[in-house]
């Protein structure tokens, strides 16, 4: 049975997707000295944390919430993993193949210096971006986030069972691991950044799951408290609190605020249409945006770019992202239809 659409999940997914695009556009400006903040789109941080970390936190929360919304009542593991596989890999493989050919033409060849061929397996299973932190891989698109989301899908049935059967024990165990991880490995583990380790994201994931499980609603008082936390952290910038803690509580607080905002803007048809569109193409956007940003931005002298022209460039990049993510989405649909009609249906009749 198809679940009814939850607007606030789509709304927050759209906000997170836009924040990631802004993050990767602004990233180059952060390496300049002095940093040209006026050329950046909107801001480089929210609630005292890097806007990229903020957007990723929202993604982890809505990922847990969306999965719990669909699978709270029952879960067939075979169907679950098959669906997750089909939702991730065909589009990823298609996008990677196209990006590989495109970069080959634009760069007159692609060089992965001294990368053993066996490591292409990491690309096939979608963790090349995550592993690129510690070794050379054939990484082009997808980044570390895709690898951690794959890990989330692997562990979700266990988290779901724990939250349903023993919620207090599950929460206590998860937060103990989370606190211990930050205390002992605040700088990461053997080159792997702390915020890319799945255990550091479990509190966000569990919060999203719990919120759906309890069918919670956000009152204006809860929204104001969440907003107060975000604003206070933005002004105080508490250096004594580990950054991972700040990402978690600012992300959760922002999630609460955005749910309330979603309840207000949902009535506007243009907002509903835009949110639905971004949410629908969010995975395709995630796959194509980084390559597009890099290739277009590399054609401009960012140091000579005015603030006004920076915004024009950003809008142009967004247009290309929209075009290519739409093409990827449609190409994926055609590819899956061909596979279904010519292979899956035929296998059923044999």
- pLDDT tens for 178-208 read 999 999 999 999 999 999 999 999 999 999 9
Token pair in block for residue 44: 């480089």
pLDDT in tens, 12-53: 999 999 999 999 999 999 999 899 999 999 999 999 999 999
pLDDT confidence band for 305 (50 / 70 / 90): very high
- What are the sequence ranges of the domains in the chain? 7-349
Distance separating alpha carbons of residues 134 and 127, to the nearest angstrom: 12
Low-confidence winner among 37-41, 155-159, 344-348 (lowest mean pLDDT): 344-348
Query: What was the pLDDT predicted at 142?
Result: 87
pLDDT in tens, 250-292: 999 999 999 999 999 999 999 999 999 999 999 999 999 999 9
Place of tokens 């949902």: 266
| Phi then psi dihedrals of residue 192, to 5 deg | -90, 120
Asked if residue 96 has pLDDT above 90, the reply is yes
Q: Output the average pLDDT for the chain.
A: 94
Q: Mean per-residue pLDDT for 299-324?
A: 96
Alpha-carbon distances of 301 from 50, 166, 320, 349, rounded to whole Å: 24, 56, 19, 59
Distance separating alpha carbons of residues 350 and 342, to the nearest angstrom: 12
Q: Indicate the burial class of 335 (C-beta count within 10 angstroms; 0-12, 13-18, 19 or more).
A: middle
> pTM of the prediction?
0.94
Distance separating alpha carbons of residues 161 and 75, to the nearest angstrom: 10
Query: What was the pLDDT predicted at 43?
Result: 93
Nearest CA to 145 out of 201, 93, 82, 98 is that of: 201
Asked if residue 340 has pLDDT above 90, the reply is no
Token pair in block for residue 280: 């629908």
Half-sphere exposure of 292 toward its Cβ, with a 13 Å CA cutoff?
23
Q: Mean per-residue pLDDT for 293-313?
A: 94
Backbone Cα Rg of the chain = 21
Nearest CA to 180 out of 210, 158, 202, 153 is that of: 202
Asked if residue 3 has pLDDT above 80, the reply is no
Query: What was the pLDDT predicted at 94?
Result: 97
Low-confidence winner among 13-27, 102-116, 122-136, 170-184 (lowest mean pLDDT): 102-116
pLDDT confidence band for 216 (50 / 70 / 90): confident
Pairing of the two strands 49-50 and 45-46:
antiparallel
pLDDT confidence band for 339 (50 / 70 / 90): confident
């Amino acid at each position: 049975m198809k679940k009814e659409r939850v607007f606030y999940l789509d709304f927050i997914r759209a906000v997170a997707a836009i924040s990631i695009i802004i993050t990767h556009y602004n990233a180059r400006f952060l390496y300049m000295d002095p940093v040209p903040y006026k050329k950046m789109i909107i801001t480089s941080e929210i609630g005292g944390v890097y806007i990229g970390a903020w957007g990723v936190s929202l993604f982890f929360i809505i990922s847990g919430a969306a999965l719990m919304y669909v699978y709270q009542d029952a879960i067939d593991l075979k169907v679950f993993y098959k669906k997750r596989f089909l939702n991730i890999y065909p589009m990823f493989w298609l996008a990677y193949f196209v990006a590989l050919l495109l970069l080959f033409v634009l760069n007159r060849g692609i060089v992965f210096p001294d990368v053993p061929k066996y490591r292409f397996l990491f690309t096939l299973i979608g963790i090349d971006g995550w592993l690129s932190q510690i070794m050379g891989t054939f990484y082009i698109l997808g980044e570390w986030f895709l690898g951690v989301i794959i890990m989330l899908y692997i562990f979700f049935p266990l988290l779901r069972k724990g939250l349903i059967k023993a919620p207090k024990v599950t929460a206590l165990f998860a937060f103990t691991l989370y606190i211990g991880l930050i205390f002992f490995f605040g700088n990461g583990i053997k080159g792997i950044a702390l915020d890319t380790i799945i255990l550091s994201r479990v509190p966000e994931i569990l919060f999203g799951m719990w919120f759906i499980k309890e069918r919670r609603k956000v009152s204006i008082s809860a929204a104001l408290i969440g907003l107060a936390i975000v604003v206070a952290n933005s002004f105080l910038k508490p250096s004594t609190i580990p950054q991972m803690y700040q990402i978690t509580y600012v992300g959760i607080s922002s999630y609460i605020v955005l749910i309330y905002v979603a309840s207000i803007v949902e009535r506007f048809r243009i907002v509903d249409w835009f949110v639905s569109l971004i949410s629908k193409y969010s995975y395709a956007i995630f796959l194509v945006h980084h390559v597009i940003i890099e290739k277009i931005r590399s054609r401009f002298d960012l140091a000579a770019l005015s603030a006004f022209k920076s915004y024009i460039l950003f809008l142009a990049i967004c247009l290309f992202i929209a075009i290519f993510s739409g093409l990827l989405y449609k190409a994926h649909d055609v590819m899956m239809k061909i596979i279904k009609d010519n292979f899956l249906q035929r296998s059923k009749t044999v």
